[in-house]
Amino acid sequence: MLEHGGRLRHAATHYQIPLVDWLDLSTGLAPYCWPLPPVPMRDWMRLPEEDDGLEIAAAGYYGTVNILPVAGSQAAIQTLPSLFAGARVAIIEPCYAEHRHAWERQGFAPLSLRAADVEAALPSLDVLVVVNPNNPTGSHISAHQLWRWRERLASRGGCLVVDEAFCDLQPELSLASKAGCPGLVVFRSLGKFFGLAGARLGFVLAERSLLAALHERVGPWTVSGPARRIGQAVLNDRETQALWRLRIQNDGARLGQLLAECGLLPAGNTGLFAWVPCDTAEALHGHLARLGILVRHVPEPSGVRFGLPGCESGWRRLEQALRCFEQETAKCRP
């Protein structure tokens, strides 16, 4: 099992700080509470059915009817490699580590690429995996560039796999509406922008034949009835979506400004999180954790990912902790 953000209970035990006293900025999820509808008791008592309106709602949101709901995009990430036996695979890294983990578990040895190296490597590849916007660095690749890569891969029967978990705030980067074209697989999730990681609901957007093969492997009833109902509601709720986009954009800009003021220059900012590459990442992570603030420390490349506080007290607490670290670091400089 790889380590991820959100291991709050582990941090509470390790630093001996009660769970309720933590400010968790480690996950990059929207920190607000969506106005969810009540879940009828029948949704808990019956097996979920696929004609309940979820796929229609997802089609309206993502702009394609080529959709397979899954138990979080993680389920698809783990299963997808089984459809590409013998393929030559590359991953643009650093990125969400579960992609490499999933391909390696299926016996692949993925090539690690930087975005600048892709053009030269494409002729020797069957599958290229991209996280866009990238997690954890917040960098991004234009939809036009991705589409060109897909065309070259598809011309030889290859495939571009794009994880768009953080793409809701930057729809201009998305290839979701083009799903159904040969050689394209897109992952989407309700865990990040919608803040519903606990619902375990994501979507695979791809050609019908690939979706059918993937559906066969993940099996029936992978998404619970309550999760399907909640998903349908939030995907149709355009008013709250618009409000959240504005709020996250404003809070993302506020986070970037705060970090910069405290001597931590973000190299990437998706709105939901900011990425700060720095040599003092481990020390910064430890300093904040001892104050009950959990952020995501990434050893390689060395950096820290900051999520958004969800309330004013959280913002004040983060600012105080960052300014304290800035002062302590300044004392140590020659």
pLDDT band at 3 (very low <50, low <70, confident <90, very high): low
Asked if 54 and 69 touch (Cβ cutoff 8 Å), the reply is: yes
pLDDT digit string (tens) for 229-248?
999 999 999 999 999 999 99
Q: How many Å apart are CA 187 and CA 198, to the nearest integer?
A: 17
Query: What is the rounded end-to-end Cα distance, in angstroms, of the chain?
Result: 41
Q: Which residue has the higher pLDDT, 73 or 332?
A: 73
Within 10 A of 277 (CB to CB), how many other CB atoms are there?
Answer: 17
Q: Which residue has the higher pLDDT, 129 or 299?
A: 129
- Of 202, 177, 201, 193, the C-alpha closest to 133 is 193
Q: What is the enclosing helix (H) or strand (E) of 321?
A: helix 312-332
pLDDT band at 326 (very low <50, low <70, confident <90, very high): confident
**Structure tokens of 170?**
């930057």
Contacts of 291 (CB under 8 A, 6+ apart): 317, 321, 324
Is pLDDT at 5 greater than 70 in this prediction? Answer: no
State what percent of residues in the chain have pLDDT above 90: 90
The pLDDT of residue 76 is 94
Average pLDDT of span 247-275: 96
pLDDT band at 333 (very low <50, low <70, confident <90, very high): low
Give the strands of the sheet with 184-189, arranged side by side. 67-70, 202-206, 184-189, 159-163, 127-131, 89-92, 111-113
Burial of 127: CB neighbours in 10 Å, binned 0-12, 13-18, 19+: buried
The pLDDT of residue 6 is 62
- Bridge partners (DSSP) of residue 274 are 269, 306
Within 10 A of 292 (CB to CB), how many other CB atoms are there?
Answer: 19
pLDDT band at 202 (very low <50, low <70, confident <90, very high): very high
pLDDT band at 299 (very low <50, low <70, confident <90, very high): confident
pLDDT band at 327 (very low <50, low <70, confident <90, very high): confident
In the chain the beta strands, taken as DSSP E runs, fall at 23-24, 67-70, 89-92, 111-113, 127-131, 159-163, 184-189, 202-206, 268-269, 273-277, 293-294, 296-298, 303-307
Buried b (16+ CB within 10 A) or exposed e, 74-103: bbbbbbbbebbeebbbbbbbbbbbbbbebb
Is pLDDT at 330 greater than 90 in this prediction? Answer: no
Is pLDDT at 290 greater than 80 in this prediction? Answer: yes
**Structure tokens of 68?**
């397979």
DSSP 294-320: E-EEETTTTEEEEE--SSHHHHHHHHH
pLDDT band at 322 (very low <50, low <70, confident <90, very high): very high
The verdict on whether omega for the bond into residue 309 sits within 30 degrees of 0, i.e. cis, is no
Average pLDDT of span 77-106: 96
The pLDDT of residue 310 is 95
Burial of 157: CB neighbours in 10 Å, binned 0-12, 13-18, 19+: exposed
Is pLDDT at 7 greater than 70 in this prediction? Answer: yes
pLDDT digit string (tens) for 113-149?
999 999 999 999 999 999 999 999 999 999 999 999 9
Is pLDDT at 1 greater than 70 in this prediction? Answer: no
Running DSSP on this structure, what letter comes out for residue 71? S
pLDDT digit string (tens) for 154-191?
999 999 999 999 999 999 999 999 999 999 999 999 99
The pLDDT of residue 329 is 77
Is pLDDT at 2 greater than 70 in this prediction? Answer: no
**Structure tokens of 99?**
């992609």
Is pLDDT at 303 greater than 80 in this prediction? Answer: yes
Return mean pLDDT, the chain. Answer: 94
pTM for this model (two decimals)? 0.94
